[in-house]
């Protein structure tokens, strides 16, 4: 069974879980979701870092056989590897899955293990995001140990969220403070990561982690001085998009590449998609109008309405394929997008979190289908404006 309640959209289901568990004790909440089969198969994702022992201890006391995914990036401190083995043994964890990056991918993209020096995003994708995605395939949801007090994008996270794969992510410690963690560790006499005593308050890969001062943020030692705060496994820095339609949010089902207009293939290659800027002259697309299956129009800034005009012109030219708006477009503009001839709007995960599904659905009700259907009716040659 999956997390999804068939009577609710995923976003609404997540909202209902947040309301249901808002005031529930953390251990009770964990027990309920781990032992209730209707929540689907769950995994705990743990770095075996500075405070990981708290969640690992809670989970071990509920179900020692729960899969624990440990991401070994092959760049970790040797102390982390030693601590991981000791902790798994002490807590009696029965199913720790140590996942590593693909050997072929490392040889191809980071054969000298130095990628972290010049492209930390690509390195995190190779060594964290991609292996985790593979490891989580088949799970209904996963548990993470992030806390709001850690700052940045974590400040506003909920107990339950949707990840980039539209899988439910549970953050049982979201509301915990640093003192709460320290109290739990002391009360239960749990062993700390050996580097915690040396000023490491957040512990990741060795090349990208330094100790922090007493007045610094907990995660200030991660990718110090680089302006990077997350590895990408939590906030979809590996770009993931949501499609907004009249029926609500949906996964992006478009799998083919988008071409720029200048790079449209000269021979027919099957499905054809093109990316256009809002100021693109519609008439330049005339010879392609019957061949293109998807046009994606980019809105460069919120106040730039040229994308709407382009959509209207494309429909008037007789374009009947799929038409998508992307970029700086928000829920308030959905009705306008639909009236202009767009079928859907592409937004990223961050915007979907800030403007959840009900916002967009409310806007969808204002759609002017008649006008749009009129635009979509292919005109005769004589009716075409160009």
Q: Which residues bind ligand SF4 (CB under 6 A)?
A: 73, 75, 116, 120, 123-124, 127-128, 204-205, 207-208, 231
What is the C-alpha to C-alpha distance for residues 144 and 154, in angstroms, rounded to an integer?
12
Nearer to ligand SF4, 41 or 218 (CB): 218
In the block, tokens 């005031």 appear at: 23
Least distance to ligand SF4, CB of residue 375, Å = 47
Least distance to ligand SF4, CB of residue 111, Å = 14
What is the C-alpha to C-alpha distance for residues 337 and 369, in angstroms, rounded to an integer?
11
Least distance to ligand SF4, CB of residue 82, Å = 18
Nearer to ligand SF4, 237 or 298 (CB): 237
Which residue has its beta carbon closest to ligand SF4? 205
Chain centroid offset of residue 376 CA: 34
> Is there a contact between 244 and 360 (Cβ–Cβ < 8 Å)?
yes
Exposed, middle or buried, 76 (CB in 10 Å: 0-12/13-18/19+)?
A: buried
Least distance to ligand SF4, CB of residue 221, Å = 11
Facing residues of 27 across strands? none
Nearer to ligand SF4, 136 or 285 (CB): 136
Element (H, E) at 249: strand 248-251
CA 193 vs CA 85, 197, 200: distances in Å: 12, 8, 9
Nearer to ligand SF4, 66 or 208 (CB): 208
Backbone angles phi, psi at 76, to 5 degrees: -80, 160
Least distance to ligand SF4, CB of residue 384, Å = 53
Q: Starting at the edge strand that comes first in sequence, how are the strands of the sheet with 42-46 ordered?
A: 96-99, 68-71, 42-46, 141-143, 168-170, 160-162
Least distance to ligand SF4, CB of residue 115, Å = 7
Nearer to ligand SF4, 223 or 360 (CB): 223
Nearer to ligand SF4, 127 or 167 (CB): 127
231 noted as active-site residue: yes
Our CA dihedral for 194, 142, 88, 80, rounded to 10 degrees, sits at -30
In the block, tokens 């010879």 appear at: 287
Per annotation, catalytic residue among 123, 124, 208, 231: 231
> Is there a contact between 248 and 360 (Cβ–Cβ < 8 Å)?
yes
Query: HSE-up of 10 (CA within 13 Å, CB side)?
Result: 20
Catalytic residues: 231
């Amino acid at each position: 069974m999956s997390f999804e309640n068939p009577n609710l959209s995923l976003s609404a289901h997540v909202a209902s879980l947040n309301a249901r568990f808002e005031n529930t004790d953390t251990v009770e909440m964990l027990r309920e979701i781990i032992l209730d089969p209707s929540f689907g198969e769950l995994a705990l994702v743990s770095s075996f870092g500075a405070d990981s022992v708290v969640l690992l201890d809670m989970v071990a006391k509920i179900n020692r056989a729960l899969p624990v995914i440990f991401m070994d990036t092959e760049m970790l401190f040797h102390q982390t590897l030693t601590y991981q083995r000791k902790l798994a043994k002490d807590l009696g964890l029965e199913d720790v899955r140590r996942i590593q990056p693909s050997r072929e991918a490392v040889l191809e993209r980071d054969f000298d293990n130095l990628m972290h020096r010049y492209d930390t995003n690509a390195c995190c994708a190779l060594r964290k995001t991609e292996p985790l995605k593979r490891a989580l395939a088949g799970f209904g949801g996963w548990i993470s140990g992030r806390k709001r007090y850690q700052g940045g994008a974590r400040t506003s996270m909920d107990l339950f969220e949707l990840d980039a794969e539209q899988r439910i992510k549970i953050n049982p410690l979201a509301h915990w403070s640093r003192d709460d963690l320290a109290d739990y560790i002391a009360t239960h006499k749990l062993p700390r990561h050996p580097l915690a005593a040396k000023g490491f308050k957040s512990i990741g890969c060795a090349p990208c982690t330094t100790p922090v001062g007493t007045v610094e943020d907990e995660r200030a030692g991660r990718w110090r001085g680089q302006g990077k705060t997350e590895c990408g496994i939590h906030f979809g820095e590996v770009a993931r998009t949501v499609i907004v339609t009249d029926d609500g949010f949906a996964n992006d089902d478009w799998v083919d590449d988008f071409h720029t207009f200048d790079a449209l293939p000269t021979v027919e290659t099957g499905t054809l998609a093109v990316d256009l800027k809002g100021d693109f002259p519609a008439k330049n697309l005339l010879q392609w109008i019957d061949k293109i299956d998807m046009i994606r129009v980019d809105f460069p800034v919120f106040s730039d309405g040229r994308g709407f005009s382009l959509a209207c012109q494309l429909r008037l030219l007789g374009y009947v394929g799929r038409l998508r708006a992307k970029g700086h477009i928000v829920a308030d503009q959905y009705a306008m997008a639909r009236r202009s001839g767009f079928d859907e709007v592409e937004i990223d995960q961050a915007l979907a979190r800030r403007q959840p599904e009900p916002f967009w659905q409310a806007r969808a009700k204002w759609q002017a289908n008649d006008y749009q259907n009129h635009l979509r009716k292919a005109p005769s040659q004589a009716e075409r404006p160009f």
